[in-house]
Structure 1
Amino acid sequence: MTMTTVATAHAPTAVAPARGGALSLSHMSPYEAWQFCESLAQTPLLPDAYRKQPASVLWAMEYGRALGLDVVTTITTIHVIKGKPCQSADLMLGRARAAGHRVRIKSERTRCEVRIQRHDDPDDETVIEWTLDDAVTAGLCTLRDERPYSRDKNNQPQPWERFPRAMLRARSIAESVRIACPEVLHGAIYTPEELGEVVDQEGNPAVVERADTPPMQEGVTVVQSTPNTPPQAERRDYLAEAVTTPDPDQLAALIDAARTSGAPEHYLAALDVIRQAHEAATVEDVRKLYEALQESGENAEQLARVAHIGSTKPGARQPEPTGPAPHSAADARAAEHDVPADEKAAMEAENALRLAASRANLPTLDADFERVYGLPIEQATAAQLDAFRQMIEAAAAGGAQ
C-alpha cells in the first residue's frame, strides 16, 4: 500500500449537498454550523427574535433539521414566541399534506371550514369551523355592523379587521391539524398569533407599534387538556408609567389606581420602590437604594427601572454630547465612516448589551428594554443601553454565586 493510498484512506470525506440543493446543518461540522449561525445572525433580514442572536439561530436550525426543513424555510416559518417554538398555519398545512393526510379548505369572508382525513384511517375525518363569532368569543376582535373591528393603541386597524378571511383560515388550519394529526407538528403546536403576537396577512409576526399584549387568551382553538378561559381585559402597566412619572401627586394617584385595580402586594411594593427612587435627591441616594435592592435579591427588571431613574438625577453621568473633542481618536474613527460619535457610541453599547443578553440567556431583551424605558433599543442612548447591560450582568453574576 503506497503513502498516497494511506493518506487517501484516512482523509475525512466531506459530504456536500447536491448542486441546487438547500443548505442544511447536516452538511456542516459543529464548528462550521456555529460560524454560519454567527454570520447569519448579523443580517437585518432575519426576524427580530434571531437578529444578533446566533445561539437562537442555531437552536432554530437544529429544530428545523428535526422537522426535515432547510435553513431558509426554518428561519422564515419557525418562530420563537415567549420561549416556545411555533410555526405558520401554512407550514402546518404543508406538513399535514406531506404526511399523506387529505386536507380540504372552504374559506369565506365570515367563516372557514377545514376537513382532514388521515391517510392511515380514511374513515376518521376531523371537521373544524371558525367564524367571526368564534373570534369575538376568543377576544380577538369585536363586530361593528357585522364586520370585524380590531384597533391598536393608535387606532390603526389590526389584522383581524384588515384580513378576516386569512385570519379565519389560519385559525381553522392550526386547530384542525392539532386535532387530526398532531404528530406532524413535533411540539410546535401553536401559530404566532395564538401566542399573542400581532401577525401579518400570511400569519408571520409583524413589526408594529402596539400596546402591551395581555396574557395569551386560550379560546376555542386550544385543544386536549387546556381549559377554555374567557377573554381577559388589557392590563395597564403601572410600573412602566411610574418610571416616567416623577411628579409626586401623579405618582401617588398612579399607585392608588394600581391598588384599586386589585394589584398584588409584590406589585404595589415594586411601585413603592420606584416612588423612593423618584424622591431621592441625588444619584448617590439612588445608588444606595439600588445596592440595597441588589443585596435583597431584587429582579433585574426592577433594578433596571431604578437605574434609569438614577440616570436623571443630579450628578449622573450624561450621554456624550454630539461631536467629540477635536482631534480625538473617537472623532477620527467616526469621521472615517461618516457616523456621528453619539450614534457610534450607541451602536457599540447596543452590541455590548446584546452580547450580555446572549450570555445571560435572555431571549426577551427587546421587549424587556422597551417595557422599562418606553422606547425600542434602536432609539436608546448609549447611557441607557449601558445601564441596562450592567443590570443584566449584575443579575447574571448574582445568580452564578
Structure 2
Amino acid sequence: MTVVALADRQSHQHLAAPALPRMSVESKLDYCKAFAASGLLPRQFRGQPANLLYAVEYAESLGLHPMVAITGVHVIEGKPTASAALISALVRRAGHRLRIKGDATCAVAQIIRTDDPDWTFEARFTIDDARRAGLLGKDVWKKYPAAMLKARAISAVARDACEEALFGIHYTPEELGAVVDQEGNPVYIAGEIQQDTKEEPPASAAAPQRDFLAEARRASDAAAVRAVWEDAKGAGVPQHYLNQLAAIGRDKPGARVAEQQLAEAVVEEHQDQDDEHAAALAAMYDAACAAELSNEEADEAFAAHYGHTPAEATVAELVEQREDLLDAAGGAA
C-alpha cells in the first residue's frame, strides 16, 4: 500500500471519530491550555494554546474530532491547508467517489460526484509539470515523486469537482510553499527534510534538528533572535515561519535597532520577489498577445485554471501559463 493510500485510509478512519460535544469558550480554553503542555503534539501547537483553540474551532465547524484538525490541518500564511490524505477523506465523506493512480512520472485523479454520476472529473499532474513549476529541486520531490504527483492531482481534482466538501481547504501545505515530509505534513528543520521513519539513518549520519522558534524564545536579546532568523532563512523555512521569528524578536531587549535591520532585510527580500513576479507576469502577457488574447482574456483564462488571479499567482504558475500560451500560439516568441 502506498504512503498516500495508507494515510488516506487512516485519515478516513479519523473522520469517523465523533466530534467532541460542544463546549463553552471557558471549557475550550481550559482544554487547550492543558493539552498544549503535551510533548507529543505537532510543533506548531506545543505550548501554544491559542493555536490549539484555532484547531478546535476549525474542527467544530467541520463536525470533526479536534485531533483531525490538529494532525491534518496546517495554517500557511493565514490559509488552512491539509494533506492530500485528509482532502481525499473529506471528498469521500461527502459521498463522492475518488480514484487515484500513478507512478513516478504521472498521476491521474478522478472524482465522480454522487449527484452527477454520469460525469467524471479528472486532473493529471506529470513530472514534466513539476519540472516546469520548479519543484524537482526539492528534496521531497527527489525522494517521493510518486506521492507528490498524486497529492497534486488529488488537490486539483477536489478543487474542481467538489469544493463544497473541502470547507475552505483548497491546497496542500506543499502547494503554498511549505517544506513538507513524504506525507505532505510541514517540517521546519535545517538542511534536508526529515528522514523517512521507515528508513532509520545510521547514528553517525543523523544530524540534529533545530527548533528555531524555541531558540528565538530562549535568546537574550533581539540581536540573538536576528541571528536565529538568518539561520532559519538560510535553511529555507517558509516566510510565515520567518515572520513568527521576527515577532519574537520584537519583544526582546534592543528590539528597536534589530527590528529596523530585520525590516530592511524583509523589504529587500520582498522587493526581489516582487521584481521576479512582475517580470514573469509581463512575460505571460507577451505570450497571451502572441496567442491573440487580450490581457483581460489572459486573466480570465488564468483564474479559470488556477482558481486565483495572476496578481496572486506564484512565479512558477506564471511561467507555466506562459509556456502553455506559447504552445497555443505555435511556439511564437
| Aligned AA (2:108) | E
Q: Tell me the residue number matched to 1:176.
A: 157
Aligned pair count reads 206
1:190 CA displacement: 1.0
| Aligned AA (1:368) | N
Matches within 5 A, 1:79-90: 79-90=74-85
Alpha carbons 1:369, 1:388 under 8 Å: kept: no
Alpha carbons 1:25, 1:33 under 8 Å: kept: no
* CA offsets 1:117-174 (integer angstroms, 9 cap, x no match): 1010011211111110011122212xxxxxxxx25xxxxxx10001001100100000
* CA offsets 1:335-389 (integer angstroms, 9 cap, x no match): xxxxxxxx9x938999xx9xxxxxxxxxx885236569xxxx8xx9xx9944449
| Aligned AA (2:55) | A
C-alpha distance in 1 between matches for 2:59 and 2:106: 32
- Show structure 1 runs of 5+ residues with no match: 1-20, 142-149, 152-157, 212-342, 354-363, 393-401
Match of 1:116 among 111, 118, 133: 111
What's the TM-score once normalised by structure 2's chain length? 0.54
Would the alpha carbon gap of residues 371 and 117 (structure 1) be closer, same or farther in structure 2, given more than 3 Å must change? same
| Aligned AA (1:164) | P
1:38 CA displacement: 1.5
Matches within 5 A, 1:307-326: none
Matches within 5 A, 1:58-207: 58-141=53-136, 150-151=137-138, 158-207=139-188
C-alpha distance in 1 between matches for 2:257 and 2:66: 34
TM-align CA RMSD: 3.4
* CA offsets 1:265-318 (integer angstroms, 9 cap, x no match): xxxxxxxxxxxxxxxxxxxxxxxxxxxxxxxxxxxxxxxxxxxxxxxxxxxxxx
The runs of at least 4 consecutive aligned structure 1 residues that moved more than 6 Å come to: 347-350, 389-392
Would the alpha carbon gap of residues 24 and 35 (structure 1) be closer, same or farther in structure 2, given more than 3 Å must change? farther
Q: Tell me the residue number matched to 1:29.
A: 24
Match of 1:45 among 40, 45, 51: 40
Alpha carbons 1:49, 1:80 under 8 Å: kept: no
Would the alpha carbon gap of residues 390 and 205 (structure 1) be closer, same or farther in structure 2, given more than 3 Å must change? same
Q: Tell me the residue number matched to 1:346.
A: 218
What's the TM-score once normalised by structure 1's chain length? 0.46
C-alpha distance in 1 between matches for 2:220 and 2:38: 17
Structure number with higher relative contact order (C-alpha < 8 Å, ≥ 6 residues apart): 2
C-alpha distance in 2 between matches for 1:120 and 1:165: 31
C-alpha distance in 1 between matches for 2:129 and 2:55: 32
Q: Percent identity?
A: 41
Report the structure number with the largest CA radius of gyration: 1
C-alpha distance in 1 between matches for 2:157 and 2:256: 44
Query: Which has the larger helix fraction?
Result: 2
C-alpha distance in 2 between matches for 1:126 and 1:23: 30
Would the alpha carbon gap of residues 33 and 384 (structure 1) be closer, same or farther in structure 2, given more than 3 Å must change? closer
